[in-house]
Structure 1
Amino acid sequence: MIPQDDAPPAQPLPPSSAAPTPAPAPVPPAAAHTLRTTHLESAVEQLADGLLRERRSDRRWRVFFRIVWLAVALAVLYALFVQRVQHAAPTGPHTALVEVRGEIAADTEASAENINAALKSAFEDVNAKAVVLRINSPGGSPVQAGMVYDEIRRLKAKHGKKVYAVVEEICASGAYYIAVGADEVYVDKASIVGSIGVLMDGFGFTGLMDKLGVERRLITAGENKGMLDPFSPLPERQRALAQAMIDQIHQQFIAVVKEGRGNRLKETPDTFSGLFWNGEESIKLGLADHTGSLDYVAREVVKAEEVIDYTPKENVAERLAKRFGAAMGEGAVKALRSLGSIR
């Protein structure tokens, strides 16, 4: 037997893996307060940084828009300056040009206000040897045309200058009303000239309303106050009144043509019927005098080859005003005016 005292000492057992994990030490209240404060400060810094970035972005956009508006203002001033320079340009003998383009009406470029202002400037310029009306218009308001005709007659008598009408594609109705105020009318052989007449147009919806079962409730004070209402029947008496009115305007038109053309007019049964003719035929009928263009008249008739345009031009400011709301209701106004319009 081996003596017990000689046996090796006993080895300690390794700790068991299943021993429980000791609980974390509790955080002291002061340390917890410091931790919360740190988180709060971090959140405040992030918020402040975001607000700062946003303000910087807003400031950049404000600067950008200020630059844009400054550029627009400079463009408007430049356009106005250029326009003044262009009007101040004539310094020597020249032919003054006034354009009559498009519909003749109060709210168009071919309004009496615009045309008469250009005519006045042209006549008053001592270097303008004569005035040429270059016409390309189907006509329009007899009131506006009459105002231009009267102004031509007045300025001719005051300044003693000749006025020539040069027709491009079309000179009809109210446009011809203006043209006869000139001393001579020049056309292209294929121009459309004439239409000496008056019309009043509109629509009647009474039959359609009956089919749809729609009742028109129109209350007026005055038996003829609703005259030409498109949603009401047109009584024969009101039709006769409207016809008499446009017949009277037609006679005014005829008198102006006879006064302007004088003995040159070769009147036929169709002259004042509303028909129109090409330029070549209009010369034969005495509605026009010769064929010729603007350059021809300036060079060969006026003897002042340089042509200066006195027609008012829409500038940048006016275009911007229209774009940003000045013409917002233009469509509605035109629709209302078209009911029973006369031209």
Structure 2
Amino acid sequence: MSDRPKDDPWTQGTAPDAAASSAAAPTEGAEALREQQRLKQIELMDRWIGGVLVEQRRTRRWKLFFRFAWLLLFMALIGSLAYAVMRAPVDGMVQGQHIGVVEINGVIDSEAPANADRIIDGVKAAWEAPNSVAVVLHINSPGGSPVQSQRVYDAVRQLRESGDKPIIAVVEDIAASGAYYMAAASDEIVAAPASLVGSIGVIYSGFGLGEAIGRLGVERRVFTAGDNKAFLDPFSEIRPEQRDFWQEVLDTTHRQFIDDVKAGRGERLSDDPDVFSGLIWTGEQARELGLVDRIGSIEDEAREQLEEPALHDYTPPEAPFDRISRELGLMATQLLGLSDSASPMRYQLP
């Protein structure tokens, strides 16, 4: 019995063909390469299809977003119009005798709710309403823009001189500076005992930051045409003659304020020089100085004028959309450190 394997090809003369083995190897490598290329193509195709699907989903999302945004905008506009229509004063709508009220709240400014156009429109509507027996300026304001205050003052004085319907200013918490300027045009001024009234003066405030930026190594570059064009620039040095000039501007504006208050109040004003010094008084003190006529409230005025007190608000409504845009603009100016007032001078409490 032999230990040699019976089927050994090497002993039986049937060894494998080396050439055939070497020929089969490249064929298998080519097949494998083609398979890898096919798989890569499939993978690239999957990625491309996936990208297209993702982009389509994004496009659909943005379309939905913009459709929803336009829908919200449309609804906001419709709501604003409906609000304005419901709140707008309409001749003949108010039945029975009443007192027409115009609200003056907050800082007086062309971009604020207490702006001249809005206040004047309300005053005229209340004045022209056939069933209003008196017009009340219901004031709760620290003042503000000189121009806006002067415009309201002039409009009220014209109405006051054109008819016999009384125009009464009623002070809630405060009627200071530009707000008192408006009140001075009315026939009478009424205030609560603790109301703050007066502040007949003009203010401008700023900062001198020239030394501060010098210490930081910052150079201020300003190019102007005109020797005094940048005299209010907080980073520039103000010369004595420029300071004198600006003080003259403030004094002139103050004189306009004093002249109009005297014209509106007449002989009721006290001769006390402090009246026009910029001081602010309580309602009781203001009455002694002739700045107000009597102590009371808007309810007292309603009872004074009518047996059955009735008030109707003629203040033109402010559209919600305008209010939102104004608040956003105010936030932006505050974040950027910009002034939100058109005029650097103010009839306003500091």
**Same topology, TM > 0.5:** yes
Q: 2:225 aligns with which of 214, 221, 227?
A: 221
Q: Percent identity?
A: 41
Post-superposition Cα deviations, 1:95-135, rounded to whole Å, max 9, x if no partner, equal: 21111111112221112122112222222222222211111
Task: Note if 1:108 corresponds to 2:112.
Answer: yes
Q: Does 1:334 align with 2:342?
A: no
CA-CA distance at 1:317 after TM superposition: 2.6
**Is the 1:139–1:174 contact (alpha carbons within 8 Å) kept by the matching residues of 2?**
yes
**Structure 1 residue identity aligned to 2:151:** M
C-alpha distance in 2 between matches for 1:121 and 1:244: 39
The one-letter amino acid of 1:78's match is G
Residue 73 (1) aligns with residue 74 (2):
yes
TM-score by structure 1 length? 0.78
User: Match of 1:251?
Assistant: 255
Contact 2:191/2:297, CA 8 A, preserved across alignment: yes
Uncovered stretches (5+) of structure 2, i.e. residues with no partner? 1-6, 9-20, 22-26, 29-33
Provide the residue aligned with 2:94 in structure 1: 91
Change (3 A) 1:102 1:277: same
| Counterpart code for 2:127 | F
Match of 1:153 among 157, 161, 164: 157
Q: Paired residue for 1:20?
A: none
Q: Quote how far apart the aligned CAs of 1:84 are.
A: 1.0
Q: For 1:291 and 1:248, locate their aligned partners in 2 and report how far apart those are by CA, in whole Å.
A: 32
Runs of 4+, deviation exceeding 6 Å: 39-50, 323-327
* 203 and 335 in structure 1: CA distance in 2 versus 1, 3 angstrom threshold: farther
- 1:180 and 1:261 in contact (8 A); partners too: yes
Separation in 1 of the partners of 2:346 and 2:251? 11
Distance 2:273 2:322 in 1: 47
Preserved CA contact (<8 Å) 1:129 1:304: no
2:196 corresponds in structure 1 to 192
Q: CA deviation at 1:77?
A: 0.8
Aligned pair 1:275/2:279, yes or no? yes
Between 1:204-213 and 1:145-154, the stretch displaced more is: 204-213
Give the SS at the match of 2:259.
Answer: helix
CA displacement at 1:318 relative to structure 2: 1.9
- Report how many residues are paired: 330
Q: Supply the distance in 2 between the matched residues of 1:214 and 1:57 (Cα, whole angstroms).
A: 47
State the match for 2:245 in structure 1. Answer: 241
Q: Partner letter of residue 317 of structure 1?
A: F
Compute the TM-score of the two structures, normalised by the length of structure 2: 0.76
Where 1:288 maps in the other structure, the secondary structure is: coil
Q: 2:167 aligns with which of 163, 169, 172?
A: 163
Structure 1: runs of 5 or more not aligned: 1-14, 17-22, 28-32
| Root mean square deviation, CA, Å | 4.0
Letter in 2 for 1:137: S
Q: Secondary structure at the match of 2:273?
A: coil
